[in-house]
Amino acid sequence: SAGTLVAPYWVPNRHGALHKGRWQTMLCLTILLLAACGQSEIQSLSFNPAPWRAGEISNYQVTTENGATAGSARFTLLPGDPQNNPGGWSIQREIDSQGAQEIVIVEVDQTDFSPISTALTRFSSQGKESEQVTYNNGAVDIELTSVMSVTTNHHIDVPSDIRVEPTLAQLVRALPLATGYATRLNSFSPATGTMDRVTVQVTRQEQITVPAGAFDTWRVELKTNTTTGSVWIDRTAPHVLVKYMDGASGGTFELMAYKPGE
């Protein structure tokens, strides 16, 4: 937590001199405390215009927290659904891992990337299950179809300013990232029906190498009450997601190939 820097005080000794050394020691300790906390001033949540173009595709190799190969992932960014989200964006994430496949398609608003709908489909050895999720100013309605083709409906009340967890790694690209930048947002997971308060903080600039090459990145921490993940965002436009470490699973995505949009 951040310390409080109080005004310096001076204490005379028995000869009337001032204990300057004591004040300097306390000041140094206070500065060290502030540095150790590593916290930046939290800024209000705001986004730049989308840095990507329609049709962008990025492919990743996925590894476990132990470094073993787990599968592959792909993000595709397309124009929003012409009927339900004209002018918006469709952020699609596909993961193939250990014999299972998950496809998430999230329709988001053009300006602040707030969610409009989510379609989630999973294929596994047990069969297919799916979710259809709609968002409406603080209300989330979920239609879940199980592998046994049983459909149930759920209603959840959430803050009106949520963003959808599968899109966060991409949405960080549109934040005004800079040294010392930090903000907070509410993240909703359609897979679990739960919400987290996420602190997003630039921790440093970092040169990293992934299968797609070497990149000069912002390393950005995504921290909740229980997990801490990281994303590495290319500092050069269009600010590609170069690497992502999931705080819950420990799995890591590393960029293998990138195709810009048009």
pLDDT tens sequence across 184-198: 999 999 988 899 999
pLDDT band of residue 19 (cuts 50, 70, 90) is very low
Task: Report d(CA 244, CA 231) in Å as an integer.
Answer: 4
Instruction: Say which residue, 32 or 207, is predicted with more confidence.
Output: 207
The mean of the pLDDT values for the chain is 87
pLDDT band of residue 167 (cuts 50, 70, 90) is very high
What's the pTM? 0.83
Closest to 162 in 3D by CA, of 154, 151, 153, 171: 171
Closest to 200 in 3D by CA, of 172, 225, 178, 236: 172
- Residue 38 is predicted with a pLDDT of 52
Instruction: Say which residue, 53 or 35, is predicted with more confidence.
Output: 53
pLDDT of 108 higher than 60: yes
Tokens standing for residue 68 = 């073993």
pLDDT of 141 higher than 60: yes
Q: Residue 165 carries which DSSP code?
A: G
- Residue 258 is predicted with a pLDDT of 98
pLDDT band of residue 175 (cuts 50, 70, 90) is very high
Contact (CB, 8 A) for 117 and 132: yes
pLDDT of 8 higher than 80: no
Q: Average pLDDT, stretch 196-225?
A: 97
Q: Average pLDDT, stretch 8-12?
A: 33
Burial class (CB in 10 A: 0-12, 13-18, 19+), 190: buried
